[in-house]
Amino acid sequence: MIRITHAEKRIIRIVALVFVVMAIGAIFYHLMEGWDWLDSFYFATITLTTIGFGDLHPTHDLSKVFTMFYAVGGISLMLYSLNAVAQYYVEKRYPKVIGQAIEFGRPVHKAVPGHRALKAFKLARKESEVGGQQLEQKPQEPKTGF
């Protein structure tokens, strides 16, 4: 039997909600604008992903009002779902690092390997190890040609 963790259930619920919101938009545009199903799903998708090619657009006042609320709410949902997936990935990939960060009271996002703040900390630490002096850097040769 496959065990699904709480975090995985959360991701499944969020992805399902994204598809439900896309379907609501598609149904609305199909009924209100008279577009076929493909165009309706296409417009709902490009609206929620902020692509907005401009090839389709609402023509009725009610559709325009719906689109304003649909875009704000739907784009917020898309960003939330992207954040949830990224959080799940980081927590699954770096559980030990995150646990140590929480234990020592450090911000978790700064404890993940490769983070810009972590690289800056390492550079500052390296500079302090050489007595606070800047490390000598070789002058770069000017680039010629392409």
Which of 8, 22, 14, 26 lies closest to 82 in space, CA to CA? Answer: 14
Domains and CATH numbers, the chain: 1-93 (1.10.287.70), 94-132 (no CATH)
First vs last Cα of the chain: how many Å apart? 59
Q: What is the pLDDT of residues 62-89, one digit of tens each?
A: 999 999 999 999 999 999 999 999 888 8
pTM of the model: 0.67
pLDDT tier, 138 (very low <50, low <70, confident <90, very high otherwise): low
- E strands of the chain, at which residues? none
Which of 90, 127, 80 lies closest to 110 in space, CA to CA? 90
Q: Is the pLDDT of residue 134 over 80?
A: no
Q: What is the Cα–Cα distance from 57 to 67, expressed in whole angstroms?
A: 9
Average pLDDT over residues 102-124: 61
